[in-house]
Amino acid sequence: MPEFPWAWRATPAPASECTVMASRLPLRGYRHTPVFFKRTLVIRRQLASTPGLIGFALLADLWHKTFWTVSAWDGRRSLNGFSMTNPHRIIARATRPMMGVTTFVFWTCPVAELPVSWDDVRRRVARAGGGVPGPVRVRRPGS
């Protein structure tokens, strides 16, 4: 599975709280993968300069046409601001027809608990009704 590993964008105090958002984004068909992936790269560039972002990661489970994301924010206000700002806002709308049932999960945790593991993301999404719990296997280069 291709992965963009956790990328830190800020270094807040380890004892501070953050808002975490995880998502499961299934595509309706394999034919949507190239467009979705290209749009993901645009959003990734936007994230690099978004105020309030602490860090983020992306996992592409191409076999199952599913993308997983996790990001940490200095608060829900920053996260909401990002989601309503272009290009994310336009891309989210344009991508909706190619998506299956998406799942978004939010929680707070101390910054010291970052980065969040993919297994934790998957468990939380499954509890929200958006996937099957179990390990997410990430292949590392050379493994």
Return the structure tokens found at 113. 């608990």
Across the chain, what does the average pLDDT equal?
90
Model pTM above 0.95: no
pLDDT tens-place string over residues 18-41: 999 999 999 999 999 999 999 999
CB atoms within 10 A of CB 73: 26
Kindly give, in sequence order, each residue whose CB lies less than 8 Å from that of residue 35, ignoring residues fewer than 6 positions away. Answer: 95, 98
Class of the domain covering 3-127: alpha beta
Radius of gyration of the chain from its Cα atoms, rounded to whole angstroms? 15
Helix axes 88-95, 33-47, angle to 10 degrees: 160
**What would the mean pLDDT of 78-101 be, rounded to a whole number?**
96
pLDDT tens-place string over residues 64-86: 999 999 999 999 999 999 999 99
